[in-house]
Amino acid sequence: MLSDSPAHPAPHELSVRSQQDMALIDAALAGDAKAYAELLSSYRKPVSYVILKIVGNADDAEDLTLEVFTKAFKYLANYRPDFAFSTWLFRIATNHSIDFIRRQKLPVQSLHQRDEENLPLQVHDPAPNPQDAFIRQERIDLMHKLTNVLPLKYARPVRLRYFQQLSYVEMATELKLPVGTVKARLFRARVMLRALLQNSRAAI
């Protein structure tokens, strides 16, 4: 583990992009979930490209991209602006992709339905008071923002399940997929969202 972060270089020593990145990183470390979402949105495509070149499978690359950002956000305080933020991300992406390839022969962990209750994404609330209603709306808005950065195949099940309150059978009909596939994608989406929420320190 790296030691406490030294002072940032003087602003004039950083490129415009690096200054923008550092502003977002500082905001993220201060607990701003929107800053995490903006970092993810800015670097998602180049990181995904790096991963795809290593693993050679678009679906795997899509999943691994979110895992890389989850890991990067977890250790964001360790980033040093001595080199570009993209370079730091690409190093994490490369190492994570290599680890993924090494794990391919390991058995896949089973899905547990009870995991759904561990991620409070439900948006239905019978009769909140005004303060609770405001806080809840803030949470819902944040969930929408974080859901928007997920790959579409994971974002759609989240929207159908938690924002439209559809059953698994209804979701399967809407998505034209087997119920088992729908559950698997929703499970994967919850893992990604939970990690993003925890790393942003949002009180969801």
Taking the domains of the chain in order of start, what are their residue ranges? 11-103, 113-200
Q: What fold, for 113-200?
A: Arc Repressor Mutant, subunit A (1.10.10)
Range scoring the smallest mean pLDDT among 2-6, 25-29, 147-151, 183-187: 2-6
CATH no. for 11-103: 1.10.1740.10
Q: What is the DSSP string of 101-158?
A: HHHTTSPPPPP-GGGGGGS------SS--HHHHHHHHHHHHHHHHHHHTS-HHHHHHH
Tens of pLDDT, residues 160-204: 888 888 888 889 999 998 988 888 888 888 877 776 766 654 433
CA dihedral for 167, 169, 171, 174, sign (positive or negative): negative
pLDDT tens-place string over residues 21-72: 999 999 988 888 888 888 988 898 899 888 888 888 888 888 888 889 888 9
pTM: 0.55
